[in-house]
Structure formats: structure tokens, C-alpha cells
């Protein structure tokens, strides 16, 4: 029978953790820079669409208030209390949509995408 020899060597590697941390940070910054450049146009388009949705809502709220007072109340087909209540509700919706539009201009890219997805779902629900 033959005896096998086994050599065991101990490897002692010195790791420079400062250089490793610096390399990781540089790699993350490069990845973020590439991702930011590619999604800038898409984020701008989504932000514009979000603002357009909000402006459509407050425009329709204002138009509805005008129709309530010019058409319904002027022709005595609606009561004064009903017109006042509808005006208050529509004014709240319009002001809320305006404030949402103003806030959407300051959103980050991830928030813009989330709001875009929510707005698309809401538009699909209204259309359906």
C-alpha cells in the first residue's frame, strides 16, 4: 500500500478594507450615474403626464362649478343648497388636484413612477 502525502499550506491574505470600501462606493456611484442618465427622459415624461392629469381634474372641477351655477341654478332646475354643497365638494377636489400638481414637480424619480402607475390605473378605472 502506498501512503499519500498531504501538504497543508496556510494562506494568509491581507485585505485592505479601505481600498475595498472605496472600490465598492465607486462602483455604486457609476451604476447610479448610468441609471440616472437613462431614466431622465422617461421620468420627465411621466412627471408631465402626472401634472397633466392633475390639471385636467382641477379644470373639470372648475368647469363643473360653472355649469352648476350657469346652467342648473340659473334655470331653476337645482336647489340653492344642492348647488352650494356641490360647489364646496368640487372646489375641494379642484384645490386638492392643484396642490398635488404643484407637489408633483418636486417628486423624485421613484415617486414619479409610483404616481404615474397609480394615475394610469385610476384613468383605466374611470374609462372602464
pLDDT tens by residue, 60-85: 999 998 888 887 766 777 778 888 89
Query: Residue 114 burial (CB < 10 Å; 0-12/13-18/19+)?
Result: middle
On whether the CB atoms of residues 90 and 65 are closer than 8 A, the answer is yes
Counting residues of the chain whose pLDDT is more than 90, the rounded percentage is 9
**Band (91; pLDDT cuts 50, 70, 90):** very high
pLDDT tens by residue, 1-38: 566 667 667 666 777 778 878 888 888 888 776 666 55
pTM score over 0.75: no
Amino acid at each position: 500500500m502506498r501512503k499519500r502525502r498531504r501538504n497543508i499550506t496556510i494562506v494568509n491574505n491581507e485585505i485592505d478594507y479601505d481600498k475595498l470600501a472605496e472600490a465598492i462606493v465607486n462602483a455604486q456611484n457609476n451604476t447610479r450615474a448610468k441609471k440616472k442618465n437613462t431614466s431622465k427622459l422617461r421620468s420627465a415624461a411621466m412627471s408631465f403626464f402626472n401634472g397633466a392629469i392633475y390639471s385636467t381634474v382641477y379644470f373639470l372641477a372648475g368647469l363643473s362649478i360653472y355649469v352648476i351655477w350657469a346652467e342648473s341654478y340659473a334655470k331653476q332646475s337645482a336647489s340653492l343648497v344642492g348647488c352650494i354643497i356641490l360647489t364646496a365638494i368640487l372646489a375641494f377636489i379642484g384645490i386638492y388636484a392643484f396642490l398635488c400638481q404643484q407637489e408633483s414637480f418636486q417628486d423624485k424619480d421613484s415617486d414619479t413612477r409610483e404616481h404615474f402607475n397609480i394615475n394610469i390605473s385610476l384613468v383605466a378605472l374611470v374609462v372602464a
